[in-house]
């Protein structure tokens, strides 16, 4: 019997997925919100991070008649897995970005979307490495309290909250740098920023890779929280959910996109719980009604409040000269 009150576990089970979305949204915010890079492959970097962490953390699992097995048997701790996930997702971002970041914005979006599909198909078909459609199973959690699974969930929630705050702090710090100013300049007008003497390609590359690293980290948290990863969890269309969160919260505003992610997930969370209380006929239709509502929300946002709930902060300067 767990010593943890049920509401705390419930809260932890809300907080962790919401924070995973928030990490993805932060990663997308530095790419799209700050630099104007349309990354259509958020799901790919999320999936790469999740699988990397899964393979690093899980114990050896041999192929059997019912399971194709997967790479691994490394049994590493969560911090090692998280760093591994960030490195691999960042490298993947770098590799895809070097050739396609020179393309025009729309081609860049299509290329990254294609990447997401390639990653999903690879995860499904490289069966002896990834466990195929069954995925990687038996991923452990940090802070396992023997016999008290709910308590380990609460601990994990604390860790995830800490990771999220750290990521927010880091992004705010980097965004306050002249470096962040160049990113925002590129978002506003790439060619003008180039003519003003900035190496636009290099800045875009940096922003893109940093965003991918955050998405990889989100993947690592996801893998350890869920305990298994499978290709269906990284549906390329999921990328657009993250866009809705960023636009809802306020593109370019880090705190805003975190709030946007939490609000969006809260909507999801509540609507799933409402399902149980509805008559069967309506409950069956709920997933589609939910999608319709999200679509309507997105349209309403873009029309009536394109800057999102929290607009990007205006940066003003106190005069340094006395005139």
What does the binding site for another protein look like in residue numbers (CB under 8 A)? 174, 177-179, 181-182, 184-185, 187-189, 191-199, 206, 312, 314-317, 319-321, 323
Shortest reach from residue 315's CB to another protein, in Å? 6
User: Taking the complex as a whole, how short is the minimal distance between the CB of residue 139 and another protein, in angstroms?
Assistant: 32
| Structure tokens, 212 | 């991918």
Q: CA-based angle 99:104:108, to the nearest 5? A: 55
Closest CB to another protein among 73 and 306? 306
Shortest distance, CB of residue 212 to another protein, whole angstroms?
16
Q: Could you tell me the smallest distance in angstroms from the CB atom of residue 316 to another protein?
A: 4
| Least Å from the CB of residue 297 to another protein | 24
CA distance 180 to 223: 31
Cα–Cα distance, 240 to 24 (Å, whole number): 11
Whether residue 284 contacts residue 306, with contact meaning beta carbons closer than 8 Å, is answered with no
Tell me phi and psi for residue 48, to 5 degrees.
-60, -45
Phi then psi for residue 22, to 5 deg, are -65, -40
Rounded Cα distance, 41 and 238, in Å: 9
Nearest-angstrom CA–CA distance, 109 and 284: 34
Kindly tell me which of 144 and 195 has the beta carbon lying closer to another protein. 195
Torsions phi, psi for 70 (to 5 deg): -155, 165
Residue number, 149 or 173, with CB nearest to another protein: 173
| Closest-CA residue to 211 (of 310, 47, 93) | 93
**Measured between alpha carbons, how far is 134 from 132 in angstroms, rounded to an integer?**
5
User: Residue 292 contacts by C-beta under 8 Å, 6 or more apart in sequence?
Assistant: none
Which residues does 262 contact at the CB level (< 8 Å), separation at least 6? 18, 21, 22
Q: How far is the CB of 319 from another protein (least distance, A)?
A: 6
Q: Alpha helix locations (H) across 58-133?
A: 78-100, 105-125, 127-130
Q: What are phi and psi of 229, to 5 degrees?
A: -130, 145
Tokens 């049920």 correspond to 6
Nearer to another protein, 304 or 317 (CB): 317
Number of Cβ atoms within 10 Å of the Cβ of 185: 19
CB of 154 to another protein, least distance (A): 34
* Comparison of 147 and 197: residue with beta carbon closer to another protein: 197
Q: How far is the CB of 173 from another protein (least distance, A)?
A: 9
Smallest distance from the beta carbon of 178 to another protein, in angstroms?
Answer: 4
């Amino acid at each position: 019997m767990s010593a943890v009150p049920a509401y705390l576990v419930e809260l932890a089970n809300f907080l962790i997925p919401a924070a995973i979305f928030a990490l993805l949204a932060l990663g997308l915010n530095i790419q799209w919100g700050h630099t104007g890079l349309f990354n259509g492959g958020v799901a790919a970097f999320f999936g790469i991070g999740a699988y990397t962490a899964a393979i690093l953390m899980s114990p050896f699992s041999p192929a059997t008649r019912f399971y194709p097995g997967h790479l691994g048997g490394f049994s590493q701790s969560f911090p090692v897995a998280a760093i591994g996930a960030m490195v691999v997702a960042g490298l993947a971002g770098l590799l895809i970005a070097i050739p396609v970041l020179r393309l025009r914005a729309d081609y860049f979006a299509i290329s990254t979307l294609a990447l997401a599909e390639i990653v999903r198909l690879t995860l499904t078909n490289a069966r002896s490495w990834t466990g195929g459609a069954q995925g990687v199973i038996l991923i452990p959690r940090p802070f396992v309290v023997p016999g008290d699974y709910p308590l380990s969930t609460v601990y994990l929630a604390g860790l995830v909250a800490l990771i999220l705050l750290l990521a927010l702090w880091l992004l705010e710090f980097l965004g306050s740098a002249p470096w962040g100013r160049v990113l925002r300049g590129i978002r506003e007008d790439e060619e003008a920023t180039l003519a003003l003497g900035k190496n636009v390609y290099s800045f875009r590359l940096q922003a893109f890779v940093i965003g991918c690293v955050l998405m990889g980290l989100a993947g690592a948290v996801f893998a350890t929280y869920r305990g298994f990863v499978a290709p269906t969890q990284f549906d390329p269309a999921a990328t657009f959910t993250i866009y809705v969160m960023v636009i809802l919260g306020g593109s370019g505003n880090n705190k805003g996109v975190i709030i946007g992610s939490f609000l969006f997930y809260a909507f999801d969370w509540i609507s799933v719980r409402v399902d149980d209380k509805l008559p069967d006929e309506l409950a069956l239709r709920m997933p589609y009604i939910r999608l319709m509502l999200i679509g309507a929300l997105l349209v309403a946002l873009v029309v009536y409040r394109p800057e999102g709930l929290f607009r990007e902060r205006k940066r003003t300067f106190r005069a340094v000269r006395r005139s």
